[in-house]
């Protein structure tokens, strides 16, 4: 199988490249490196069946050429991270909506399978936990830039499913819940890499808000396996799937756990949202997935739990510091 991965030099994308190559598929990556890194795929250079180009999905001629050659397109390219979203809302909306529109329009000409990576952010301020795919979505007002990312990804979902309904383009929409693991950086606000880096450096571990908000974290290897399983399952087409882990932990407890696991003497400091992001910033109190749908279809089950995830991330950061 020939796979085109947009954003393939990113955190999730680079792990997905490895998984497809391991099973003998051909992989081509398009990434403009706005949030990805060439270091993430440097070890794949020269491997049979792997190639990449540094460019944008908005280069329609290039994209058309490579979609034409592909059997499936995994669209991961996006503006990501709360920090980036708050600071650059125009970039966030334009990148996410226009990039996805280009991918779907070109793929539709040859009816190529497209996987659209969405996010748990689309559930917004819903209090119906765990979140299921058919539940109502409760977003904040348009005056709060924090919701620009959720809205842009939700438009991506609507557009993808519209292409399936109206033009019979095979699509699969996946909502990812806090994917973590080696190669993820804290540059755009990802909490675990930020906490681990701070703890190892002896810096204050900065908890935004009061820390009572809770999250569930999914190991990148489990996410990759879920994506591959859905691509291989014809009954997944035209549907939306949560990919996550149901174990929930508060951010306060997460900070304490990382401090203990790293043997750090760092102080845990709480920073109000208004100082961390912007005035009036709103957050989601809980974010926990219902994964019954993907379990029923593919047998998906998370295999790496939080303590082991943290062990792997800590080891990755520690080895990076030694080099």
Mark residue 195 as left, alpha or beta (left: phi above 0; alpha: psi -120 to 50; beta: remaining). alpha
Backbone angles phi, psi at 234, to 5 degrees: -55, -30
Give the whole-angstrom CA distance, residue 271 versus residue 321.
Answer: 27
Residues 6+ apart with CB under 8 A from 105: none
Distance from the Cα of residue 7 to its chain's centroid: 11
Dihedral sign computed on CA atoms, order 244, 5, 38, 58: negative
Closest CA to 236 of 309, 184, 300: 300
Q: Please report the DSSP string for 302-318 in residue order.
A: --S-HHHHHHHHHHHHH
149 is catalytic: yes
Exactly one of 149, 163, 219, 277 is catalytic; name it. Answer: 149
Give the whole-angstrom CA distance, residue 123 versus residue 49.
Answer: 38
- Give me the residue label for tokens 């703890």: 199
Residues in the chain: 323
Give the whole-angstrom CA distance, residue 233 versus residue 51.
Answer: 26
SS3 138: strand
Q: Where are the beta strands (DSSP E) in the chain?
A: 2-6, 26-31, 50-54, 72-75, 113-119, 171-176, 179-180, 205-208, 214-215, 218-219, 239-243, 249-250, 268-271
Range 56-67 burial, b when 16+ CB lie within 10 A, else e: bbbeeeebbebb
Catalytic residues: 149
């Amino acid at each position: 199988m020939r796979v085109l991965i947009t954003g393939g030099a990113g955190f999730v994308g680079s792990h997905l490249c490895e998984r497809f190559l391991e099973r003998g598929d051909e992989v081509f990556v398009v990434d403009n490196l706005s949030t990805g890194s060439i270091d993430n795929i440097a070890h794949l250079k020269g491997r049979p069946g792997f190639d990449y180009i540094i460019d944008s999905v908005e280069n329609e001629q290039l994209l058309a050429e490579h979609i034409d050659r592909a059997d499936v397109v995994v669209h991961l390219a996006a503006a990501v991270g709360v920090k980036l979203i708050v600071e650059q809302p125009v970039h966030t909306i334009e990148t996410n909506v226009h990039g996805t529109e280009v991918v779907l329009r070109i793929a539709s000409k040859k009816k190529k399978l497209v996987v659209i990576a969405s996010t748990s952010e689309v559930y917004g301020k819903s209090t119906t936990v765990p979140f299921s795919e058919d539940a109502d979505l409760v977003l904040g007002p348009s005056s709060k830039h924090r919701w620009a990312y959720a809205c842009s990804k939700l438009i991506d979902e609507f557009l993808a499913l519209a292409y399936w309904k109206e033009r019979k383009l095979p699509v699969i929409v996946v909502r990812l819940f806090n994917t973590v693991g080696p190669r993820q950086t804290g540059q755009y606000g990802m909490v675990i890499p930020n906490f681990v880096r701070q703890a190892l450096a002896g810096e204050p571990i900065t908890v935004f808000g009061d820390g009572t908000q809770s999250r569930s974290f999914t190991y990148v290897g489990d996410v990759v396996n879920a994506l591959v399983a859905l691509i291989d399952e014809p009954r997944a087409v035209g549907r939306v799937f949560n990919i996550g882990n149901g174990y929930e932990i508060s951010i306060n407890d997460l900070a304490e756990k990382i401090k203990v696991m790293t043997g750090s003497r760092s102080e845990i400091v709480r920073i109000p949202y208004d100082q961390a992001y912007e005035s009036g910033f709103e957050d989601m109190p809980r974010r926990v997935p219902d994964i019954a749908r993907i379990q029923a279809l593919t047998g998906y089950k998370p295999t790496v739990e939080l303590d082991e995830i943290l062990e792997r991330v800590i080891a990755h950061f520690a080895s990076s510091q030694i080099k």
